[in-house]
Amino acid sequence: MSLLCWATNHARLTVSPSSSQFFIRGFVSLSCEEDDSSAGWTLRRNTSKETRTQCGDGFGESAGSSCTFNHIVLIDSGVYWCESREGPISNMVNLTVAGGSVILQSPVLPVMEGDDITLLCKTKTTPSNLTAAFYKDGSLIRKQPTGHMTIQHVSRSDEGLYKCDISGHGESPSSWITVTGEASVSFTDFRLKDTQSDHNDLYFLVDAGSSTSPPPSASTASLSSSFSSTPQHSSVPLAVLVFLPSIIGVLLLLVLLVVLVRRCVKRNPEGKSHILLKYNA
């Protein structure tokens, strides 16, 4: 087992144009942004066809820390993130390439509480000022004659799954909008298979930044399942007895991580602090 603690601002993945949905054959540019450009960030993705592939190796054109799609296609829908040689990963972005004639342009990055956001319902072939109906979590919010809707002073209650519909043209795919609040400590665990040995390494990424809620999307679920090699089992008393020592050990490690995170935050109060726990199993 090894434990690493560092105080740094990890990379942020940005998308241009800023949207989570795109029409087929559209232009998209993704960039890993960080003050320290020497970290060696690589853009990776998970799709329904492949996992953990990197830009330039099967998709996109790589240029430094940026990845460009000149003609994005349906199979480019998936979850994208930046990853460094040292282990940390950036925020994850869920991109959807629409095969229909309507898309919803919404914030692709988390929105801070109190900010205003604008949703735009666009068609592929006609002006985007048609009357559009906007939905949240399957329920109609309202219809707008101009094709766009502004939500003022967003709160955590505005977080959810949004889509839009234009009569006679169709319905957009759904996109998750995340609203961030106060700073909190969150844990992310994933397994990476070591191709040169027979064991798995279990990592816990502890983020002492703004809290976010992950989108309940199929793409994100695919990303989580590709990272984790731990199968789901039903509750069996014998299994509990067998794994009880490991469970207790993990709980103790989580307590230790919380303490270390607080120390890292004190060292770097204006940045983000991370702890990477590697557990050989």
Number of domains the chain contains: 1
Is residue 43 exposed (0-12), middle (13-18) or buried (19+ Cβ within 10 Å)?
A: buried
pLDDT band at 145 (very low <50, low <70, confident <90, very high): very high
Q: When comparing pLDDT for 110 and 242, which is higher?
A: 110
**Domain of residue 239, residue span:** 186-280
Tell me whether residue 276 is in a domain: yes
How confident is the model at residue 266, as a pLDDT? 54
How many residues does the structure list for the chain? 281
pLDDT higher than 80, residue 107: yes
Q: What angle do CA 22, 35, 29 make, to 5 degrees?
A: 15
Phi, psi for residue 258 in degrees, rounded to 5: -60, -45
Tell me how far apart the alpha carbons of residues 74 and 92 are, in angstroms, rounded to a whole number: 19
Tell me whether residue 21 is in a domain: no
SS3 178: coil
Q: Among residues 68, 79, 74, which one has the least CA distance to residue 98?
A: 74
Tell me whether residue 195 is in a domain: yes
DSSP letter (8 states) at residue 65? T
| 66-91 residue pLDDT tens | 999 999 999 999 999 999 887 788 99
Q: H-helix or E-strand containing 248?
A: helix 237-267
Tell me whether residue 271 is in a domain: yes
pLDDT band at 243 (very low <50, low <70, confident <90, very high): low
pLDDT higher than 50, residue 264: yes
Tell me whether residue 199 is in a domain: yes
How confident is the model at residue 85, as a pLDDT? 80
Tell me whether residue 262 is in a domain: yes
Tell me how far apart the alpha carbons of residues 195 and 224 are, in angstroms, rounded to a whole number: 19
| 112-130 residue pLDDT tens | 999 999 999 999 887 768 9
Tell me whether residue 109 is in a domain: no
Q: What is the pTM of this model?
A: 0.64
